[in-house]
Amino acid sequence: MQWWIWPLGAVSFILFIFVLNKWTRFGEFKIKTLDIIVIPVWVILHFTMGYRFGVSLILWFLLVWFVVGTILSWFLLQSKWHWRLFWHKYWQWSGLIGSLLLLIVTIIGFWHH
């Protein structure tokens, strides 16, 4: 299997969820596209790094992201953010960070291909 199949699958999955949210009654729920794509994007990032570079640094990325989340929670919860709002935003930011890392890994993978 080629390594670039995984990022292509991620883009297809994200577009499918976006279309599902936009054009069906699924969008009436309070679930956004960023709420759904978090775990699949991190799994796809793991497989993409593993197939392309032979090693996955996902655990290190997650460790750094959890440390950032701890610092953010300390500051934002002290500045009167509600804890549910913070964790919802942090979950969505996790999807964005995973997508950004997937984009960076894909660009570097094609660069060194």
Q: Is 102 exposed, middle or buried (0-12, 13-18, 19+ CB in 10 A)?
A: buried
Structure confidence by residue, pLDDT tens digits, 53-110: 999 889 999 999 999 999 999 988 888 888 888 999 999 999 999 999 999 999 998 9
Task: Quote the tokens at residue 57.
Answer: 């640094």
Q: What pLDDT score does 33 carry?
A: 84
- For the chain, report the end-to-end CA distance as a whole number of angstroms: 15
Which of 13-22, 25-34, 36-45 is the least confident region?
25-34
Q: What pLDDT score does 71 carry?
A: 93
Task: Quote the tokens at residue 65.
Answer: 């992201």
pLDDT band per the 50, 70, 90 thresholds, residue 22: confident
Q: What pLDDT score does 2 carry?
A: 86
